[in-house]
Amino acid sequence: MDWFSVLDERYDSYKETAIEQRRYLFSDVEKLFDNYNLTKTVIGKSVRGQSLYSLAKGNGDKRILLWSQMHGNEPTATLALLDVFRFLSAKDDSFTELRQTILQNCSLCFFPIVNPDGTDDYTRRNAVDIDLNRDALRKQAPETKALFGLKDTFKPHFAFNLHDQRTFYNIGDTAIPATISFLAPSYEVSRAINAPREQSMKLIASINKKVQQLIPGGVGKYSDEFYPTATGDNFQKEGISTVLIESGPFPNDPERQYVRKLNFLLIIQSLYEIATDTYLSATIEEYKAIPDNGKQFFDVLIKNILIDGYQVDLGINLNEKPTKELGLEYDAKIEDLGDLSYYFGHTVLDCEAQHTPEKPLKVGDSATFTILKDEKAKYKLTNGVLTEL
Ligand SMILES: [Zn+2]
């Protein structure tokens, strides 16, 4: 049975529609937990005293731990986990067999939102500015202690570390944005492959085949350089098969709701493949063949503009900034200037050496300016948003 395709069609029945945007408060998510048929446990407190929760279901031999949002401004997978909770809580639907296969063979433990204070502030770091994904050795932050405590009591065989990635990643050297990226982290500097890491690689190789059906060419993998203080690397070091999934940009999806759906599908598919051991037929070579992430995208690329007689390209990025009203705005700045011919843009304007900005521009300047041709205004960039005049 190709559950992946059927679930793709029926996703809307399981989507948690209470939250459909990137910016929310931890309390918005917390109050939903009691709606699901999972066992909720308080496993610690954040720096500001917010409760940290695990949610568990299933009683099989294969123990799988999944956590999201160690980085507060990376919300996509948390929303996908809410969809997974709704799916696991449902009864008497066309997925009863799939659900039973997962729950009879696996014990699932979720830690949604490792960083609730960072979620409220929409910051990467926690309330005392520690990057929770670089705290795996000292384990100073209470949020890190909760995650590692969960690992020690639950003793997972598999771990899923769920993040969002920035918009500048592309696949290989192509102009395709990295919508999903994977990594089977290394457990030591030589990047050796032991049995647990081999399982991570095979699982990724197997679920990659599924997601490629939906976003052909849109999947990359991260460098497996060993990060001694990173969480995934240290889980892998303890013999836990660890999978990093990063959610990235998809065209016309600023709230990443399509990528949320991809996460949901990938997570259910992973659980099913672990439950049935089907991923074991994939190979390390298939994992290695997934193209590496490039870093060649700007949000806006202005090509061949004339500044003081020099023909240059401008690379502009839109940096997310949380607003007091629980929204997001963008702080658009010129990140690079010069020969950017080996870069791509989510939005591209080629000035063909016939246009000039109304004022001289430098790296770090705000991306708000008018572009002239023959002294007439032709285009306007307003905080990174391009309009033709
Ligand atoms: Zn992250």
Rounded distance from Cα 309 to ligand 1 centre (Å)? 41
Rounded distance from Cα 200 to ligand 1 centre (Å)? 19
Confidence of residue 331 (pLDDT cuts 50, 70, 90): very high
Residue 230 near residue 309 (C-beta atoms within 8 A): no
Confidence of residue 121 (pLDDT cuts 50, 70, 90): very high
Rounded distance from Cα 166 to ligand 1 centre (Å)? 9
Distance CA 263, CA 217 (A): 16
Distance CA 49, CA 117 (A): 9
**Mean predicted confidence (pLDDT) in 322-346:** 96
pLDDT at 92: 85
Q: Which two tokens stand for residue 362?
A: 């430098």
pLDDT at 1: 77
Share of the chain above pLDDT 70, in %: 100
- Strand (E) or helix (H) holding 378: strand 376-382
Q: Which two tokens stand for residue 217?
A: 């060419």
Which region, left, alpha or beta, applies to residue 384 given φ > 0 means left and ψ of -120 to 50 means alpha?
left
Predicted structure pTM score: 0.96
Q: What's the whole-number average pLDDT of the chain?
A: 97
Distance CA 77, CA 277 (A): 24
User: Which tens digit of pLDDT belongs to each residue from 257-271?
Assistant: 999 999 999 999 999
Strand, coil or helix: what is 14? coil
Rounded distance from Cα 9 to ligand 1 centre (Å)? 29
**Mean predicted confidence (pLDDT) in 71-96:** 97
pLDDT at 319: 93
Distance CA 328, CA 133 (A): 24
Rounded distance from Cα 71 to ligand 1 centre (Å)? 5
DSSP 291: P
User: Which tens digit of pLDDT belongs to each residue from 101-118?
Assistant: 999 999 999 999 999 999
Rounded distance from Cα 58 to ligand 1 centre (Å)? 28
Rounded distance from Cα 136 to ligand 1 centre (Å)? 14
**Mean predicted confidence (pLDDT) in 326-345:** 96
Query: Would the pLDDT of 135 be above 80?
Result: yes
Report the candidate in 175, 184, 279 with the shortest Cα–Cα distance to residue 235. Answer: 184
Between the alpha carbon of residue 321 and those of residues 20, 22, 325, 327, 330, the distances in Å are 18, 12, 12, 9, 6
Sequence-distant (6+) residues with CB within 8 A of 140 are 130
Query: Would the pLDDT of 96 be above 90?
Result: yes
Confidence of residue 99 (pLDDT cuts 50, 70, 90): very high
User: Which tens digit of pLDDT belongs to each residue from 282-307?
Assistant: 999 999 999 999 999 999 999 999 99
User: Which tens digit of pLDDT belongs to each residue from 48-71?
Assistant: 999 999 999 999 999 999 999 999
User: Which tens digit of pLDDT belongs to each residue from 150-169?
Assistant: 999 999 999 999 999 999 99
Query: Would the pLDDT of 332 be above 90?
Result: yes
Structural domains in the chain plus CATH codes: 3-294 (3.40.630.10), 297-388 (2.30.40.10)
